[in-house]
Structure 1
Amino acid sequence: MQPGIPENAATITFSGATELTNEHLDEWAISILADPVKKTPCAVDNFKLENGVIDARVYLKNTYGYSDWKCGQDFYESWERNETFYQSRLEAYKKEIENDMPVYDRFKMAGDILDVGGLTGTVREFLSKDCRYVSIDPFIDAFLKTAKTKIEAYQCLKQRCNFVGAVAEFIPFRAESFDWVHMRSMLDHVQVPDLALREAYRVLKPDGSLLIGLSVEGGKSGRKAPIRLAKDIVKETLGFVGMKKYKDSHTWHPTYVNLLKLITDNGFEVKDTYWQPYWKDQVVYVLASKG
């Protein structure tokens, strides 16, 4: 174990290396790298590294909503770093896998897959071995904070993973590079959802597919139960008066109708909708194609 890395954390294991490096990012992923702003082809050497990971993060610091996004991101990263909490969650992780299995039995992703906000790539648990996969996430140290219990539950975390530090609004890959873009439990955390969807459209191949999984306000009916509405008002008030424990870490609270509008407004055609059984009509997965 390297100095400064907690014992229950995993190092990034690109090509079986034990040091923190992704200089062995798969050749196919290297070949489609692009400047996240200019969108032009870009070599690995043109990116800066942080802890050995390609850092392609671009922030909209002067745009409305950045401070809320940064607050939410800081909270999320702090939550992920809570190693004491995660050490005891082996059975919860196994249950998580069981609950997600029906989603990926229905939606069989294949080919070249970009996981936006994919963190350590746990969706690989449901992918076939011949898929080519890469995850991007602004939490660039995610692999350093992966608890042993999670690695024990998710077999995919024992395998190397293509990973680049990046945000959804500025994807560091060339146009028409992927067969699938996967966005699970992340669109309500981005600063600009429209831009995130436009980037997904850009990097998808002409016959590519987008899969979005999200908890939506009011669930399938679109209506919040009175007790849930009351609880949300109390939490929002407590967060507003400075109680960080209750501050909302989300930047967007879409209903199912809002989500569909976002998807179609940005050029996609909705193909299928699936309500994840475990969450009782509160979490929806939407499959869309380039219209």
Structure 2
Amino acid sequence: MFGLFGVAMSAASIVGGLGIGTLVDRLGYPTMFIVVAGCYLLVPTTLMLLPRVPVEPAAPPPGRESSAPLAPRIGRAAIVFLVALFVAFTANGAGQLGRSLLMNAREFSAASITSTSVVGALVTLPAPFVLGWLSDRVGRRPILIACTACGAGSLVLLIASRALWHFWIVGMLLALLGVSVSIGPAFIADLVPPARVSAAMSLLQASYFLGSVAGMSALVPVARAIGMPWTLAAAAAVTACGIVLLLFVRRPAAAVTPR
């Protein structure tokens, strides 16, 4: 199930990458924004068509019927993991925006810029299933570390990228970092008690989003201050810190099978 999330994201990147760049080159950005806004409106419309699933509140433990519900505690390991993902996904935000800015500065067409997302998505389309299968055998943490290392490597390569195929490789590496989105939920479920999985999943998605936003938000002002190459190098170093944090994530001793 978690692998399907990654496949859906890759498939969407392929469709969007093939269409958006061509749309911009032929009809301009205003038309593109209108089309994208219409696509976003399809999301709540589709969700409203889904059947409602009643959620029953969990029964309180014996002897606690009259006490207030306990605050969610997801554990130290999960918190370290969430911080590591936030740090790692700054590479995603910095890489995605930095790649587009550098390609635009080198006068690549919009179709060429979006082609990097298409190439990355094509390469990683089967990756969620392969990495999911592999993570069940070698552990989820090594796979997450490898994906994060791809993100750091993409930023280093982006500094020296000149030709289109250079940016394609950057897109592939960033896409491999994105594949961790399909591994992360399984790992966080291993780290937290069953009663805290829902809260942990929410924080997990927030970590992905906030990390990417932080990377994008910091890229331009920092690049103006110290230059784009040094900014990308600093982002790669920050991402490497995420790898170090992942090394300290340990599954609780109560777990049956270590990951």
Is the TM value for this pair above 0.5?
Answer: no
Which structure has the greater CA radius of gyration? Answer: 2
Q: TM-score, normalised by structure 2?
A: 0.27
Q: TM-score, normalised by structure 1?
A: 0.25
